[in-house]
Amino acid sequence: MSMNNNTTSPQPNSAYPAHLGWRILAIAYDALPCAALLFVSSLVLLAMHGGEPAEPDTVWAFFTMLIYWGLVGCYAVVSWRCGGQTMGMRPWRLMVLNQEGKSASLKTLLLRYAIASLSGGLVLLWCLIDTQKRGLHDLASGTLMVRKEPIASAGTKQNSAPSA
């Protein structure tokens, strides 16, 4: 996938660095499948704990939070690994790639998630000053979030049958 910094003439299958606004939209959209995942896992954990909620500052509460963090991480990392994007990234044509423009390795994506999530998302602010719009988690893991150009323009017909 070629990187394109020129916004006047997009090339087929080209991409450019995704700015912070697109990332925030994707995170907001990803909150929906993550909420469903956390809801179902909460039911399972509640049943495992005899129907009693976890008391703050207990081992069970720590375990519960660790499970939640791991499940959201699995959602993100598996999505990035299998298709380069989560459900929230698809409508905005965002992808996570390595520096060569290819799919990032599992180790790289785990590091990316760990840094981003443990920082509370503050690493995203670096996107505002980096020339390639990378967050600190992207710099540390060697990844890049890009926005792909649309495949077809709004006024272009595709796969249309000739009229008789």
CB 145 within 8 A of CB 138: yes
Distance CA 115, CA 137 (A): 6
pTM above 0.85, yes or no: no
pLDDT tens readout for residues 111-141: 999 999 999 889 999 999 999 999 999 999 9
pLDDT tens readout for residues 67-101: 999 999 999 999 999 999 999 999 999 999 999 99
Can you tell me whether residue 160 is helix, strand or coil?
Answer: coil
Which long-range contacts link 118-122 to residues 24+ away (Cβ below 8 Å)? 121/27
